[in-house]
Amino acid sequence: MSDAVVTLHGVSYGVGSRRIFSDLSLSARRGEITAIMGPSGTGKTTLLRLITGQVAAQSGEIRVFGEDVRAMDREALYALRKRMGMLFQNGALLSDLSVFDNVAFPVRAHARLPESVLRALVLTKLHAVGLRGASALMPTELSGGMARRVALARAIVMDPELLIYDEPFVGLDPISMGVVVRLIRQINETLGLTSIVVSHDVDEVSSIAHQSYLLAGGKVVAGGLPETLRHSEEPGVRQFMRGEADGPVPFHYPADNYQDELLGSSPSGRT
């Protein structure tokens, strides 16, 4: 697609004998919020590592801004990542730095700005997430929701073209979650970004996504408008979107016969 910022086509990736993705294909279009959903353990965070070139796929094509990520050398990957912002799953604030210095860190690492210009830039980004008044606080003085918003300010301080969120709603109370959901939508619209949101929080991510993908079994099992996925009658999609306990996604991890293992006749030792 000509308007796709990120495209994966026929991607396969595994670690040792474990196959994580097999013939995975999806795209994220310019100016839109793309949701990547799926049960725990389906490789959602691994997918982000493939997009950012932290790990390399065994086969298939991964293109970001039209460039082939698999063919990039270290210098090219470094330049590519400068065009991205990342909100890590746990915020990943530097505990020994103040809120101001956390947000300023990427700028100091990549640019040489007068301190007055840097100060104005950082305060502008903190103001955008509602935390300009918290600039002197330390990470230990922040609530979980505040820490996530500081991390978001840091993710946008370099004005990225692509913003990636890894489980941005984990551990947040309903009010903080509502604030983060609103910020993701507002920042995407105001700054004209392309956003990828990895999450298993169906209601929250569906409320802001332009398109959604559901991962299972190493590939995309459903894709399209959030409402399309929500009303799907395909068993696996329905189980995840409606939070049903019973369905194709099993409760138990594969194991040997329970009775045999308890009696000691199973050689595997798996639990």
**Confidence class of residue 2 from pLDDT cuts 50, 70 and 90?**
low
Structure tokens at 53: 């070139």
Residue 6 confidence (pLDDT) above 90 = yes
β-partners of residue 7 are 27, 63
Return d(Cα 238, Cα 64) in angstroms, integer: 31
**Confidence class of residue 253 from pLDDT cuts 50, 70 and 90?**
low
Structure tokens at 134: 């918290």
**Confidence class of residue 250 from pLDDT cuts 50, 70 and 90?**
low
The pLDDT value recorded for residue 162 is 94
Return d(Cα 151, Cα 99) in angstroms, integer: 9
| DSSP type of residue 254 | P
The pLDDT value recorded for residue 235 is 64
